Amino acid sequence: MTKQNVVGRLMAAIFVAGVVLMPFPWRSASAAETAPYIVILRSKSTDPVAMVDEISRDYGLRRRHVFRSALNGFAADLTPRAVRALSRSKRVALIEPDRPVEAAAQTLPTGVDRVDADLDPTARIDGVDQRVNVPVAVLDSGVGPNADLQVVGGVDCVSFDGKATYNDDNGHGTGVAGILGALDNGGGVVGVAPGVPIYSVKVLDAAGRGNWSDIICGIDWVTARVGSIKVANMSIVGSAVASDQLPCGNPQASALHQAICRSVAAGVVYTVAAGNDRVDANNKAPATFDEVITVSAVADFDGRPGALSTTTSSSGCGGTVSLDDSFACFSNFGADVDIAAPGVQILTTLPGAATLSMSGTSMASPHVAGAAALYLATHPGVSPAAVKAGLIANVTFGNCARISVRLGSAPAVSHVGGTGSAANCAGNGVTFGGHGAVFVSGALPSTTVCWWFGNS
């Protein structure tokens, strides 16, 4: 448990074959004298490019990004003298250090089967290429190339060497995109919302790492295209700080949170990974933000309810294991989690034509992004809050699998399969229906929790 437009990072943007090339000039200050910062300007009438040029003349800097849609401001490597000057400026609303961030890590994949996307009349998964026309942005390491994905455009927010491309040179983003929207064409794998138009918003480098300013660059680009892009997935996790907990409208809220607030207010639905550290998601951004749909992971190895599979996984579990139809042993949890979805050994796409099984809340989140796209396909024009409420309200009851959960530590692995009723779970259930997996209560109690798995 995402959480892309008009990125005028520079004097000129050169468009070649749909790729935005954004060279950034080095200024006089050496890298050893500078540190990365994000600056939000107080007035929308203040031109961020003009202010960057002014600061550059006076103090020297390396400009990284200019924000115009989700925020009005810029990101740059600043000298201590420039930081002091900006902190005193009446034109500056907020200046904060930039922070690092990283990726949270035609066969019918078990996850698609488990959320019953193959039964959804809007998804129409039948081996015939009939695409869901709700554009989705994947903010990640890039997407593709892969012929099983309909990539319609994108932006590169991490390359400053004049070699910008939104192709994926890590693999994580393409895996996320495959779960979300791989084509239903009789080959490879199929996604939850087959054939959705995908915008590749490259905010992580080849190692799956980036900074919050890179993420804000992507959010800014998406926000400027809100007329086209309706859903954005961010399988990205960073440590939360105190300013991340401040609400929308507070000028001291973190730059990342302010960008998400304005993008959601503009109409973009964000699904985000809860993270894979076995801690409360309250400690992670953007997972802690109320405005996004935060997704934790469950393990499912056969696409069916009832804890029938004997397969287990120890991936990322610190010596424990994930059992079939149980909470994933690596997944973050807590009151900020909205929804759970399959996230263990999910078969998906890689750049080229290969497929690979991947695990993590990064894999859980795009199941819900696909569900959001399906919801919007039948509820066009509704707000992000309505999409979130609609997904959570779409519950069905079936077989029950029970796990123990301890607040403040990793979930235990005790697990009992079997059949139950709604009363057994007392409102604290996770259900899988045609529009995805839903964490009903929104908070994990300190005692045993039931997780409801589907209607098939």
pLDDT in tens, 106-136: 444 566 655 656 556 666 666 666 778 889 9
- The secondary structure of residue 411, as a DSSP letter, is P
- Catalytic residue of the set 113, 120, 140, 325: 140
In terms of Cβ atoms closer than 10 Å to its own Cβ (0-12, 13-18, 19+), residue 318 is exposed
- Percent with pLDDT over 90 in the chain: 43
pLDDT band at 335 (very low <50, low <70, confident <90, very high): confident
Report, as an integer, the average pLDDT of 153-181: 92
Residue recorded with tokens 């990726």: 103
Report, as an integer, the average pLDDT of 250-270: 97
Mean pLDDT of the chain: 76
Q: State yes or no: is 415 an active-site residue.
A: no
Is the pLDDT at 158 greater than 90? The verdict is yes
In terms of Cβ atoms closer than 10 Å to its own Cβ (0-12, 13-18, 19+), residue 57 is exposed
- Catalytic residue of the set 362, 365, 367, 435: 362
- Catalytic residue of the set 65, 172, 257, 415: 172
**pLDDT digits over 183-228, tens only?**
988 888 889 899 999 999 999 999 999 999 999 999 999 999 999 9
Task: Take residue 171 and report the two structure tokens written for it.
Answer: 């693999």
**pLDDT digits over 381-434, tens only?**
999 999 998 887 664 333 333 333 332 333 333 333 333 333 334 433 443 332
Q: State yes or no: is 383 an active-site residue.
A: no
Distance, CA of 174 to CA of 349 (rounded, Å): 6
The amino acid that residue 86 corresponds to is: L
**CB-CB contact of 274 with 303 (8 Å):** no
Handedness of CA 164, 170, 172, 174 (dihedral sign): positive
Amino acid 450: pLDDT = 39
Q: What percent helix, strand, coil does the chain show, rounded to 5? A: 25, 25, 50
Torsion, CA 92, CA 214, CA 256, CA 334, rounded to 10: -160
Amino acid 349: pLDDT = 93
Distance, CA of 308 to CA of 325 (rounded, Å): 8
Amino acid 413: pLDDT = 30
Distance, CA of 193 to CA of 178 (rounded, Å): 10
Handedness of CA 134, 163, 235, 246 (dihedral sign): negative
CA 448 vs CA 404, 414, 416, 427, 445: distances in Å? 5, 10, 11, 12, 7
**CB-CB contact of 345 with 322 (8 Å):** no
- Percent with pLDDT over 70 in the chain: 70
CA 364 to chain centre: 10
**pLDDT digits over 46-95, tens only?**
788 888 888 777 777 788 899 999 999 999 999 898 899 999 999 999 99
What residues contact residue 358 under an 8 Å CB cut-off, 6+ apart? 105, 175, 345, 346, 348
Domain count, the chain: 1
Q: State yes or no: is 168 an active-site residue.
A: no
Range of the domain at 380: 1-456
Looking at residue 221, which CATH number applies to its domain? 3.40.50.200
Report, as an integer, the average pLDDT of 358-381: 91
